[in-house]
Amino acid sequence: MDHRIRRVRDADVETVVTLVHELAEYEKAPQECHLTAGQLRTALFGPAPALYGHVAEVDGRIVGFALWFRNFSTWRGVHGIYLEDLFVRPEARGTGLGRALLAALAGECVRHGYARLEWWVLDWNPAVGFYTSLGAEAMDEWTVYRLTDEPLRRLAADPAGSA
């Protein structure tokens, strides 16, 4: 098997969108995934790109991806990488591609002097064992909060809380 990890290219966008939708299916939330090729292309290659990505190829065919963006640690005083999504198609799992994708991001961190590589994982995901085997630590003491849809619009419309 000939495999390699490389930066995502414009020509990869349609395939990566398909893989993102496969990830949403795997995570039992396909109805929540609305990503389009136009959105991803703009995020990756538009006038102000804020998203970056790598793909995993096997024999010239893309079978996995990692999409990420820079974050910033006020405590460390430097940037880091937040891994938004990592996915390898089932038939290519267990071949080292997940590790290779994470290693590419770790390499980005080291090359740019970033302090950390972070991501979220669902509790039931069997990859938890893989991540801990790499030395990743669960940040159990933190609770994730999210505003979307109507609550997000309501807060934006009423910043003083007068309603």
Q: Which residues are catalytic?
A: 131
CA dihedral 55, 58, 64, 66 (to 10 degrees): -30
Among candidates 46, 60, 63, which has minimal Cα distance to 10? 46
Neighbours of 25 (CB within 10 A): 11
52, 112 contact by CB (below 8 A) = no
Reading the block at residue 117, the tokens are 């590589």
